[in-house]
Chains A and B, each alone.
Chain A
Amino acid sequence: MIEVADLRKSYGRFDAVSGVSFTVGKGEILGFLGPNGAGKTTTMRILTGYMPATSGKASVAGFDVFASPLEAKKNVGYLPETPPVYPDLDVASYLDFCARIKGVPSADRKAKIDRAIEKARLGDVRHKLIGRLSKGFRQRVGIAQAILADPPVLILDEPTAGLDPQQIIETRDLIKSLGGDHTIILSTHILPEVSMTCNRVVIISKGKVVAEDTPENLTSRLSSKGAVRLEVRADTRDAFDALRDVEGIVTVNPRGSTSHSTVLELMAEEGVDIRAAAARAIVGANIDLLSLSQVSLSLEDVFLELTTKDSVAVSEVAPAKPAIFTPIATIEPPTPPAEEPPVVSSPESKESN
């Protein structure tokens, strides 16, 4: 339904998108993940025909977005990052305008508007000026506009941004209910959102696709690398000593301390549960264990994991024992720089002064 091949978009020397390729099958919901500035919005804008790409191919519902933009646009409903609404129109007349420029035949217009209003739950605000609506409602008006013409493809740029939790749940349900009939691409920062709504995930960073997988595979890959957070009543050095011999710990990172306690984050080897062993080691060293919890990796960690190749290499290569204590160097006062022979100023330079 959607095919993107080696898409590039350059601004002068800067590549916003450099060689993105993916396909989305009919009825699939694809999650588009990435940090700000990764090229998500640019890719979506190219797919919707808002701007041309520098090179590469993109087609939607069989229509090339560069060669036949109008046909492609007819098959796409698009919700931009900021809902494209006119504050001085009321909801009904705004949707009426959208229906006209999206080529909805006049006979179907009323039915389609009613359907969009019902699906986006806008019935109560139908005759209110959009400028008077809250952010959440405006977002829903934007969604109503996207699904209005009932296009086979929906492209939603952060559909849940700025909504309250209740609205987020409703919006996710709406998106899920639209899957199947529609092919959907949605972008987001929120990892759980992807696992709740999407069949497949494309992670994009610095204009490149860095991972493409199902949410299940992605999260299982991450949770096996999950960190454990410990709070102990001891200073950092003692805690490190206690954890030195525990099997399976890759790194120990101090995460701050107060006069009473120290917080540490332990990274385990892949697939090893270190919680019990770590707890025993701490207690065995006669240190008070105040709390222990599994830290699920945040999206930032996913990106660190997937985008900075060095960190992966280090955790795979680094030998277990010395690696544990590498972070402490950041706490200890830096070792004085190696003695350098004092610079003997030459007589010439003295004279010049």
Chain B
Amino acid sequence: MSTFTNIGAIVRKEWQHYFGSPIAYVALFTWNLLFSVFFLFALTYFIEASMNPGGGPGGPPKPNINEWIFRPTLMNMAVVALFVTPMLTMRLFAEEQRQGTWELLATSAITDWQIVLGKFFGAVSVYAFMIATSLLNFAVVFVYADPKPEWKPVLTGALALLLMGSCFIALGGFLSTLTKNQIVAGILSFCLFLAIWTLSWLDNPMASGPVKVLAYLGVTTHMDDMVKGVLDTKDIVFYLSFIGFGLFLTQQSVESRRWRE
């Protein structure tokens, strides 16, 4: 019971930090601005494509809203997550260390795991809030489009975006434990996320064994099916184990710091 109260207390405090400082607003603004831009581009292409004659026998199939608007927008946002998530994670542990407030956390009746999980869920919940606000853009399509687009792929796509970002957040939290300087933590995170993202470029059917393994680790690779509306257990398992690994590293780093101090 006290486990949940403790984690909840940390989540609450992280929200106070995020929304008591410009960070949350900058992240929300950037995210929503880029989301609308990508959405607007996709919408324009879609409208142009639907104006073209076609859809007859032998011609190209009629453009589908899910395929033409929702999917590219969500895939583009995965790239935006690369540089928005470091904003959320860079100060998580670095700032506690610099301010000396780590001493408060470390000497209160709360375990390292509760702190790590509280901070992770604090950042993830802000990120989820960002995704939720941006999805409102799609509402306009659901209101005016005829026939109505499918809503299930939008949900699985948003889930994919959430899980993928959570991987970055778990890893970014770990990097934040390594330094007292949040800028250093932020830059390190961004570089690492970029490197992980490029791994997905290696993904092609002709790839050999080791290259396949690397491509498998590229977190965006596992978004493809989910954004199409296919919820596959192996992708979910991949994301959850990636997150678990990141949190494990974070907890280990926090604990080893006690012995190094």
Query: What is A's interface to B at a CB cutoff of 8 Å?
Result: 45, 48-52, 70, 73-74, 76, 78, 80-89, 93, 97-98, 100-103, 145
Q: A101-B6, A101-B10 are in contact. Are A89 and B20 (CB under 8 A)?
A: yes
Q: How far is the CA of A80 from the CA of B96 in the complex (A)?
A: 14
Other-chain residue from A45, A51, A87, A102 in contact with B109 (beta carbon distance below 8 A): A102
In the complex, which of the residues A48, A50, A78 contacts B261, with contact meaning CB atoms closer than 8 Å? A50
Q: List, sorted by A's number, 22 A–B pairs whose CB atoms are closer than 8 Å.
A: A48-B107, A50-B103, A50-B106, A50-B107, A51-B258, A70-B111, A78-B103, A80-B107, A81-B100, A82-B100, A84-B104, A85-B101, A88-B20, A89-B13, A89-B16, A97-B16, A98-B104, A100-B12, A101-B6, A101-B105, A102-B108, A102-B109
Residue of A nearest to B259 (CB): A52
List A contacts of B99 (CB < 8 A). 84-87
Shortest beta-carbon distance from A83 to chain B in Å: 8
CA gap between A131 and B21 in the complex, in Å: 12
B109–A103 CB distance below 8 A: yes
Q: Given A73-B107, A84-B101, answer yes or no on A100-B5 (Cβ-Cβ < 8 Å).
A: yes
Instruction: Indicate if the CB atoms of B261 and A51 lie closer than 8 Å.
Output: yes
Most buried by A among B6, B8, B9, B10: B9
Q: B20 near A101 (CB under 8 angstroms)?
A: no
- B16 CB to nearest chain A CB (Å): 6
The answer to whether B261 touches A101, judged by C-beta atoms less than 8 angstroms apart, is no
B100-124 CB mask vs A (1 if < 8 Å, else 0) is 1111111111110000000000000
Q: How far is the CB of A207 from chain B (nearest CB, A)?
A: 16
Cβ of B109 and Cβ of A70 under 8 Å apart?
Answer: yes
Question: Beyond A50-B258, A73-B109, A101-B109, is A84–B103 a contact (Cβ under 8 Å)?
Answer: yes
**Sample of 7 more A-B contacts, CB < 8 Å, known A51-B258, A89-B17:** A45-B103, A51-B261, A85-B101, A86-B101, A89-B16, A97-B12, A98-B108
Do B259 and A100 touch (CB < 8 A)? no
- Assuming the contacts A50-B106, A70-B109, A73-B109, asked whether A103 and B2 have C-beta atoms less than 8 A apart, the reply is yes
Q: How far is the CB of A335 from chain B (nearest CB, A)?
A: 52
Q: Which residue in chain A gives the minimum CB-CB distance to B108?
A: A101
By the criterion CB–CB under 8 Å, are B16 and A100 in contact?
Answer: no
A49 (CB) vs chain B CBs: closest residue: B107
- Nearest first, the 6 A-B pairs at minimum CB distance are A100-B9, A84-B104, A48-B107, A82-B100, A80-B103, A84-B101
Question: Please, how many angstroms separate the alpha-carbon atoms of A48 and B103 in the complex?
Answer: 9
**B residues less than 8 Å from A76 (CB atoms):** 107
| Contact status B106-A49, CB under 8 Å | yes
A85 neighbours in B (Cβ, 8 Å): 99, 101
Complex Cα spacing A88 to B99, Å: 11
B86 to chain A, nearest CB (A): 19
Query: How far is A48 from B5 in the complex, measured between Cα atoms in Å?
Result: 22
Q: Give min CB distance, B256 to chain A, whole Å.
A: 11
- Give A89 to B8 CA distance when docked, in angstroms: 17
Contacting residues of chain B (87-101) with chain A, CB-CB under 8 angstroms = 99-101
Q: Judge whether B259 and A51 touch: CB under 8 Å.
A: yes
0 or 1 for each of B221-261: is its CB under 8 Å from A? (1 = yes)? 00000000000000000000000000000000000001101
Partner of B258, one of A52, A81, A82, A89: A52
A80 and B103 CA atoms in complex are apart in Å by 7
- Using Cβ atoms and an 8 Å threshold, which residues of chain A touch B259? 51-52
Residue of B10, B17, B100 contacting most chain A CB atoms (<10 Å): B100
B181 to chain A, nearest CB (A): 17
In the assembled complex, the CB of B114 is this many whole angstroms from the nearest CB of chain A, namely 9
The residues of B that contact A48 with a CB separation of less than 8 Å are 107
A93 to B13, CA, bound (A): 9
A51 to B105, CA, bound (A): 12
Enumerate B7-64 residues with CB–CB distance to A below 8 Å. Answer: 8-10, 12-13, 16-17, 20-21
Nearest CB of chain B from residue A237's CB, rounded to whole Å: 55
Query: What is the CA–CA distance of A102 and B108 in the complex, to the nearest angstrom?
Result: 6
Cα A51 to Cα B257 with chains together (Å): 9
Inter-chain contacts of A89 with B (CB < 8 A): 13, 16-17, 20
Set of chain A residues within 8 Å of B17, measured between Cβ atoms = 86, 88-89
Chain A residue with Cβ nearest B114: A101
Of B10, B101, B103, B108, most buried by chain A (CB within 10 Å of CB) is B108
* Shortest Cβ distance from residue B79 to the other chain A in the assembled complex, whole angstroms: 30
Q: Give complex CA distance A93, B9 in Å.
A: 11
Closest to A82 in B: B100
Q: Min CB distance, B136 to chain A, in Å?
A: 29
CA distance A276 to B20 in the complex (A): 68
Chain B residues contacting A102 (CB-CB under 8 Å) are: 108-109
